């Protein structure tokens, strides 16, 4: 797989750097699963210390994501991982919860940031200018880094949930609506980290 495209600066990045502006990349993970928090990350990379293998986290193996997770945390100028809870997802809807998690990630950066480059076509409410970039996680290294941090952290959170709520297989499917998960959900019923607003969970609750 050729990951070199991620290291080629987009027009948006070039313009920001030419103006001496510091920018962060922002992405989230966990919109699709039936349970658990949605997790977002904001990352400011060092342009003088690139991470060549960065690309969209979904295109990377779990082993490579884990290795990049440590490398990003070590080399990034600054980063923050934040989340929106299951309760917030059910109350606000998943889109607004995703935006909230991204807002928290950007606001959690320790260093001042002039601009945020956001994966996708929606912008969270921020106190700095921002640009939405479709497929940004495959085009902008800082967004790729954010996607890796968010994905790995959420996966680790779901592995931890396996111990708290045995029987659902969270460590294997990470909360996605697989056959294994749906069968466990049918047999055991929803647990406290299931998203009540999601159709498969809502169906079981209304059946009862």
Binding-site residues from annotation: 27-28, 119
Extended beta strands in 31-98, E state: 38-44, 78-84
Beta-bridge mates of residue 80: 42
Helix residue ranges, H only, 3-60: 4-7, 11-18
Please enumerate, by residue number, every residue annotated as part of a binding site for a divalent metal cation: 27-28, 119
Residue 131 CA: distances (Å) to CA of 24, 128, 143:
11, 10, 12
Comparing CA positions, the residue from 41, 16, 176 lying closest to residue 168 is 176
Beta-bridge mates of residue 26: 42, 118
DSSP conformational letter for 47: T
Residue 180: count of CB within 10 angstroms of its CB: 13
Residue 104 CA: distances (Å) to CA of 138, 170, 184:
23, 25, 33
């Amino acid at each position: 797989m050729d990951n070199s495209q991620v290291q080629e600066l987009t027009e948006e990045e070039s313009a920001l750097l030419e103006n001496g502006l510091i920018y962060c990349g922002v992405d989230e993970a966990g919109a699709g699963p039936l349970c658990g928090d949605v997790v977002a990350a904001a990352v400011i990379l060092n342009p003088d210390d690139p991470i060549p293998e960065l690309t969209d986290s979904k295109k990377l193996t779990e082993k490579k994501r884990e290795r990049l997770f440590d490398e990003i945390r070590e080399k990034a100028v600054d980063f923050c991982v934040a989340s929106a809870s299951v309760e917030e997802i059910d109350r606000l809807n998943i889109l607004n919860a995703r935006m909230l998690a991204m807002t928290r990630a950007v606001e959690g950066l320790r260093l001042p940031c002039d601009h945020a480059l956001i994966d996708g076509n929606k912008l969270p409410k921020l106190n700095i200018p921002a640009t939405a970039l479709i497929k940004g996680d495959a085009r902008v290294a800082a967004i790729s880094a954010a996607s890796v941090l968010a994905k790995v952290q959420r996966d680790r959170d779901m592995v931890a949930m396996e111990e708290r709520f045995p029987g659902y297989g969270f460590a294997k499917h990470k909360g996605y609506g697989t056959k294994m998960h749906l069968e466990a959900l049918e047999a055991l019923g929803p647990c406290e980290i299931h998203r009540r607003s999601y159709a498969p969970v809502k169906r079981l609750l209304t059946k009862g």
